[in-house]
Chains A and B, each alone.
Chain A
Amino acid sequence: MSEEILNIKNLTVDFGGVRAVNNVSITLEPGEFVGLIGPNGAGKTTIFNLITNAIRPTAGEISFKGKNILGKSPDRICQLGISRTFQNIRLFPQMTAYENVELGFHSEPHYSLAEAFVRTPRARRIEIDTRKKAMELLEIVNLKEHSHARASSLPYGLQRRLEMARAMATNPELLLLDEPAAGMNDDECNDLIKLIREIHTTMKYTMIIIEHHMNVVMDLCRDSRIYVLNLGSLLAMGTPTEIQSNPDVIRAYLGETKND
């Protein structure tokens, strides 16, 4: 039996009268880089919210590394190894870029409260080590020179990269990226593709990416699979080539302006 890292079975969620996610099943092997696409309102972000337990499903199961994670608190799920970025960026606005990333490392403090009040040598060493690791992450996403800037003052594209760094700081095994390329032009997209691919190769995360920029998804998932969601239900699943020539998928997207 292959070791799936994420197993979503028959996931359904209703918001009042609206069925936002309908009987969706997704499985992931460790290290995969899977895409999740679909027209607006298809329920993609809702699935991320369900995985991280920001909302509770009406039916279905989610298991991570073989263990059920339904009902666990979001912070526990993060500590278990799932992290994410947000569709509408949610950085800590008044904190610097550095502090935002650092938070990911110590959201679960490494030393006791007593040690916090009297900063023992051990605590100090931990802090120095954390600082080093945070700066390394900032380096990886090319934000080192902005480390002292307030997060709210950073341009949009840099904020998205910062959010990725912060998510990476929590040391995840599964990384969920929610529209990391939103609002970017072609050049920025290309840089982003390179960065994300590099992150995937070096850090060996399992990743799911929600994106509307088709070239970004198709490129990043070229050796992998893409799930297509429409109106809450799974429409199709396959390689980028299969998806691009799938008539149902094309029909679902008709009427939307896409850059290809």
Chain B
Amino acid sequence: MSTVRRWRATTRFGPWLLPVLLGLLCLGALGVGPFPVTPAQIVELAAARLLGVPAEVPEIVETVILQVRLPRIAGALVVGAALAAAGAAYQGLFRNPLVSPDILGVSAGAGLGAVLGIFLSLPVFGIQLLAFLFGVVTVGLVYLVATAVRGREPVLVLVLAGVVLGALAGAIISLLKVLADPYDQLPAITFWLLGSLAVLTPDDVLAAAPLVLIGLLPLHLLRWRMNLMTLGDEEALTLGVDAARLRLVFIAAATLMTAAVVSISGIIGWVGLIMPHIARMLVGPNFERLLPAAMTLGAGYLLIVDTLARTMAATEVPLGILTALLGAPFFLWLLARGRHGWQ
């Protein structure tokens, strides 16, 4: 019964404890970096901004906080929360705790779009737009292929179609890498595929956030019905749930969120796989509690990782490398401890 007691405790304290911790993390992340900023200056600036009076901090501090660190922190929060929410949804939908948001090829497709954009020397916005469109279209194609194949196990056909189209996108990415200019384009492609928030602008965050919110809305409204999807189609149908239609809604929502954030951050693995896991260990599998917990954890985790990425070395460390270096051993540790949160 200790599991259930832990869920109860976290369900009671989590709703205020986790956001408080997240707020403290944000304050810490604002403070650290090559240019020192004191907590007092942050509070001072925030208060001045809220009250609409000029802040009594050096101008450079204001620039560092508002123009450099704040958008990046906001980006980390949005990207982390969106990936974790999409991962939690997909793990329920595909009844598999080892599923990540890119199971249906959204990352591979977005990667192809971005690489194509870099290859064609498009401006940053063009690259992001192509990444978003290719991500969404890839999942759309996967869904169409899966509905065209009339199998008995629609979920399995979906996953297989996702693997196949993802591999196809990967092949085209490799082709473009071979053809790309090795001094100018190839490094850009490599960095994009490893993910980074280093060049994130406030506009990027403002463009992605509404799409994330639109995707989040159905996940939130249908949060209880998601529980029924974990039973499989036949049981869900006998309980009166139109499983196929609901799955389409969840896939569309999760794809929108993932494509929106991947197009501004590049491919960041592991967050959408591990954070829902930890959330499930903390609050149990009920999606009503799992969704907010996974999002808060995802936001916090990516904020920590991104802060490490920009402070631990003289040059930026790509996020994809860090999330894997931290995530893989942690995942193994979870497996070894046998506290799965699934059967």
- Whether both chains belong to one complex is answered with no
Interface residues of B (CB under 8 A from A): none
